[in-house]
Amino acid sequence: MLDPFWLVVAVIALALIFDFTNGWHDTANAIATVVGTRTLKPYTAILMAAGLNLVGAFFSTAVAKAIGKDIVNPKAVTLVVLVAALSAVIIWNVVTVLMGLPTSSSHALIGSLVGAAVASAGFDILQSKGLITILIGLLISPVLGAIVAYIFMKIIRALFANQPASRVKRVFKPLQIFSSGFMAFSHGAADAQKAMGIMALALLVGGYQTELNIPTWVKISAALAMAFGTAIGGWKVIQTIGSRLSRLETPHGFAAETAAATILTTVAGMGIPVSTTHTITGSIIGTGIAERIRSVRWTVAKKIVYAWVLTLPGTAIMGYALYTVLSFLEH
């Protein structure tokens, strides 16, 4: 059996790599609309997103604790399970970014963790109540995003109904920079905590703490990893969300980002891990529907939905398979 110390080191390293790929993969969530509307140049938007991702990561630890204790039983999980789960989600994130698919890192992490844990100890290791709550949150987040963004867009249209398009664009250009920054902050608040939760769980399982706490160094390292990944940026995903999904103008970008960011920061404070990818994509679709249903490019939307549907089972199978391969490390 490999020394538990090295397994803890491996989990922490993989968690930080996951966090990096999360930032790289999910850069589009924060800046796709501000780039898609040509309000900011891509490099400027990415630097802004990286900085605010870093700040947002310190918003709360409620999601981190949910990831650490509400998916699998922390008393029954092993370090090899965490190694297998993180390896699966990293592979998934890299492949989907290269394919330009805006899939959910949250779905991927949960799917791979469930798959690896079940391979290790069967279905009894799952925390069914917490897992169901998390899955409900993941399912309703895009719907909420669409509804709230639709309402925001209708209000904006009513307020500016008699204004020329050039004035509307001029009003919303600075507002969209604010909303994009809010979205970047909320992404850090919602997603950096997922890596924190896995690292804290590794410290607990490895015997380095007696209850699930999030040390300061874990917060800082996770925040930096996500910010660095965001700075690198996933250009193909930005293109898919920012310009191919629906035709975006500055009011649409403002409505979509404000709706998504409001939902994300609210649920992060409640300790419910939801998908930033799903939420912002649902919000963009909601703004498109508020204009005309046909303004949404449904062929692109269907491609994204197929990727979402495949993420949970796909990563669960990968997590299960990788644990089966790596299980010799426990013997």
Asked if pLDDT for residue 104 goes beyond 90, the answer is: no
Q: Band of the pLDDT at 295, cuts 50, 70, 90? A: low
Per DSSP, the chain holds a count of helices (H) and strands (E) of 12, 0
pLDDT in tens, 209-238: 988 999 999 999 999 998 888 877 655 555
Exposed, middle or buried: residue 180 (CB in 10 Å: 0-12, 13-18, 19+)? buried
Q: Which has the closest alpha carbon to 85: 201, 2, 189?
A: 201
Examine residue 222 and state whether it is found in any structural domain, yes or no: yes
Domain enclosing residue 291, as ranges: 4-326
Asked if pLDDT for residue 240 goes beyond 60, the answer is: no
Angle at 24 between CA 199 and CA 40, to 5 degrees: 135
Q: Band of the pLDDT at 199, cuts 50, 70, 90? A: very high
The predicted structure's pLDDT at residue 246: 52
> CA–CA separation, 51 vs 66, rounded Å?
25
R_g of the chain computed on alpha carbons: 20
Exposed, middle or buried: residue 119 (CB in 10 Å: 0-12, 13-18, 19+)? buried
> CA–CA separation, 131 vs 41, rounded Å?
40
Examine residue 275 and state whether it is found in any structural domain, yes or no: yes
> CA–CA separation, 107 vs 113, rounded Å?
10
Q: Are the C-beta atoms of residues 280 and 70 closer than 8 Å to each other?
A: no
Examine residue 229 and state whether it is found in any structural domain, yes or no: yes
| DSSP string across 13-35 | HHHHHHHHHHHHHHHHHHHHHHH
Stretch 69-89: mean pLDDT, rounded?
93
The predicted structure's pLDDT at residue 294: 67
Q: CA 90, 269, 245, 309 torsion: positive or negative? A: positive
More confident: 239 or 212: 212
Q: Which two tokens stand for residue 297?
A: 């490019």
Examine residue 51 and state whether it is found in any structural domain, yes or no: yes
Q: Which two tokens stand for residue 160?
A: 């500016």
Examine residue 331 and state whether it is found in any structural domain, yes or no: no
> CA–CA separation, 229 vs 227, rounded Å?
5
What's at 28, amino acid-wise? A
Q: Which two tokens stand for residue 103?
A: 């899939």
User: How many domains does the structure of the chain reveal?
Assistant: 1
The predicted structure's pLDDT at residue 324: 94
Examine residue 255 and state whether it is found in any structural domain, yes or no: yes
User: 188-206 burial by CB neighbour count: b if 16+ within 10 A, else e?
Assistant: bbbbbbbbbbbbbbbbbbb
Examine residue 19 and state whether it is found in any structural domain, yes or no: yes
> CA–CA separation, 219 vs 63, rounded Å?
12
Q: Band of the pLDDT at 242, cuts 50, 70, 90? A: very low
Examine residue 234 and state whether it is found in any structural domain, yes or no: yes
More confident: 182 or 301: 182
> CA–CA separation, 193 vs 215, rounded Å?
12
Q: How many CB atoms lie within 10 A of CB 164?
A: 9
Q: Which has the closest alpha carbon to 97: 11, 18, 208?
A: 18
